[in-house]
Structure formats: C-alpha cells, structure tokens
Amino acid sequence: MRLNPLDEVPSTWVVGTFFFVLYFLIGSIFALIQQTQDNQNLFTPGDLFTLESLVFALTYPILAGLLWWLSFQHREELAELLLNVPAPAEIPQYIWLAIGMIISAMGLAYLMYYPLSFIAPDLVQKWFLDTPPLLYWDEQGHYWLGNFVSVVAAVIFAPIVEEFIFRGYLLNRWTLKLGPVYAVLLSSALFAFFHADMLGAFIFGVFLCLLYMKTRSLIGPIIVHFVNNLLAVTIEWMDHMWWSGFAPMTMQDFYDQAGWGVFGLVVGLPWLWWYARRHFLPLSDLMLAHQQGGQTPNHVSIG
C-alpha cells in the first residue's frame, strides 16, 4: 500500500535523469555553442545570450517528458498532486511566504558569502557574483527573445518541474526509504546544490517541503516558487535599469550593498519564523502525518 504519491518511482532514476539532462545533454550543447563561438565568433553577444536562453529553456520540457515517461503508470497520483487545489483564501498566505523568502534570501546570501569573501574571494566571484544573468541588453537589440524565453523558463517552467522533482518525487520516495526528517534535509540539500545561493535555496526547499506536507498538494509550493522567481526577476530588472546598468557585479559592489544583506536577515528571518510558527507547528505531528500518507496520529486528514 502506498503511503505517499509517487513513492514507487525510484529516486535513482529521478536524480539520474536530472543530472543527465542538466549536465550531459544541456551541458554538452552549451559547450558546443561556446566552442563554436570561440573558434568562429559567429554570434553577437545578444544573439549568443538568446541562443543560450533557448537551450536553458529546453531543460524543463525535456525533464518533464522523461519524468512523465518514468512515472506514466502512476499518472493518477500525478493528477492527485494537482487536483488538491487550495482554497482561494490560502493564496495570500503563499504570497506572503514568497515575499518573506525573497527578503530572507538576500540576508542568507550575505551570511554565507560575505565571510567567505575574505578567505576565498575568487570562489565567491566565480560561484556567486558571476552567475549568468536572466536579463540582457545591448545596443544592437538582438536580445529581447532571449529575455522573454529566460523569464518564461525561470518563472513558469522552473517552479512546475522543480516542484515535481524535489517535493513530488524525491521528498515522497525518500520519506518512504529514510523517514520524513532525512527526506526533507536531503531533498532540500540537493535542491540547494543547483543554486548559487545555496543557503537560501536550502531554507527555501525546507519550507516548501513543509508546505507540501501541510497541504498534500504541489499547488501551494508551485505558487510560492512562481511568486519568488517572479520577484527575483523583477528585482534583477530594477537593478539593471536603475542601478547597475547591466554591468557585471564586482566584489566591491558586493561589499557596498551589504546593507541589503543586513536588511534581509533582520526582516526576512523573523518573517519566516513567524510563518513557520503559524502554519507548521507542531512539527512532529506534521512529519508523522506525512509519513502516514496525510493522516495525523488520530487519523484526521490534514491539508
């Protein structure tokens, strides 16, 4: 008897598919494009950005197709994850959580990288500050399609596919194999591995795991992920238009903007603590209910 949706889909296949598509297939295409550009210089910067954005966007439909094929026999469970639609009154709660997430992410990024910048500045520059931007501009104008594709992939495709992978497949499978605590920590750590802001992404993953456990639906996590990414894109656009002017971020810029990190910690972390106390406590009951397939110790359904 299944305890959680999709718990019969092996996690090795899901993780293997994710790494294969992201690093082998898409990575190989990126490497080929870069080698061609280095050897023949065929593309303008705007055209290169557009081409790379199109390749990046392909990641999600390919992943979705392969995961659907892997779990086709469990399609009823896939539908269950999306048919448990939240009440309209719950939507503002998800938006508030997403706002708290994006504020806290600024603080957590500085909490992780600011001390590290004095020890390994080159690592911080390469891993965090040189993260490829979602938006691009140049005077030639060959960039609008890349911006559109990049935003659609980040704001629409990523929340849906990533929530199915990390909170749909892996959280449930690892709950069955390892228990809910290890499932939350491990799925969130793997989610964080694919993001430059690893500490913020880890906290983000933990909260979305708990939200899925509470609601027994991926709709809530998808909405939070969607709003979070939309806010991130909006902030990046505002920064490019009004402050940085699309110039690459330097280490001095990072130090000069440390006040935003303090703001994120002072405002964002209490925000998340308040949300967790209001919606996820007692945590032990929530974990046990998830492990029992959505039933509390007294056999009362949650979500």
DSSP string, 163-194: HIIIIIIIHHHHHHHH-HHHHHHHHHHHHHHT
38 has a pLDDT exceeding 70: yes
pLDDT band, residue 299 (cuts 50/70/90): very low
Helices 144-152 and 45-70: angle between axes, nearest 10 degrees: 30
Mean pLDDT in the chain? 87
What is residue 295's three-state secondary structure?
A: strand
DSSP string, 27-53: HHHHHHHHHHHHHH--S-HHHHHHHHH
Q: What is the pLDDT of residues 206-249, one digit of tens each?
A: 999 999 999 888 999 999 999 999 999 999 888 877 877 777 88
Q: Which residues contact 103 (CB under 8 A, 6 or more apart)?
A: 263, 264, 267, 268, 271
113 has a pLDDT exceeding 90: yes
The burial of 47, by beta-carbon neighbours within 10 Å (0-12 exposed, 13-18 middle, 19 or more buried), is given as: middle
Partners of 301 in the beta sheet? Answer: 295
Q: Please give the share of the chain, as a percent, with pLDDT higher than 90.
A: 52
Q: What is the pLDDT of residues 39-85, one digit of tens each?
A: 888 888 888 888 989 999 999 999 999 988 888 777 777 777 777 78
Yes or no: say if 185 and 56 are a contact pair by the CB < 8 Å rule.
Answer: no
155-174 mean pLDDT: 93
Residue 170, pLDDT score: 93
Q: SS3 for the chain, per residue?
A: CCCCCCCCCCHHHHHHHHHHHHHHHHHHHHHHHHHHHHHHCCCCHHHHHHHHHHHHHHHHHHHHHHHHHHCHHHHHHHHHHHHCCCCHHHHHHHHHHHHHHHHHHHHHHHHHHHHHHHHCHHHHHHHHHCCCCCCCCCCCCCCHHHHHHHHHHHHHHHHHHHHHHHHHHHHHHHHHHHCHHHHHHHHHHHHHHCCCCHHHHHHHHHHHHHHHHHHCCCHHHHHHHHHHHHHHHHHHHHHHHHHHCCCCCCHHHHHHCHHHHHHHHHHHHHHHHHHHHHHCCCHHHHHHHHHCCCECCCCCECC
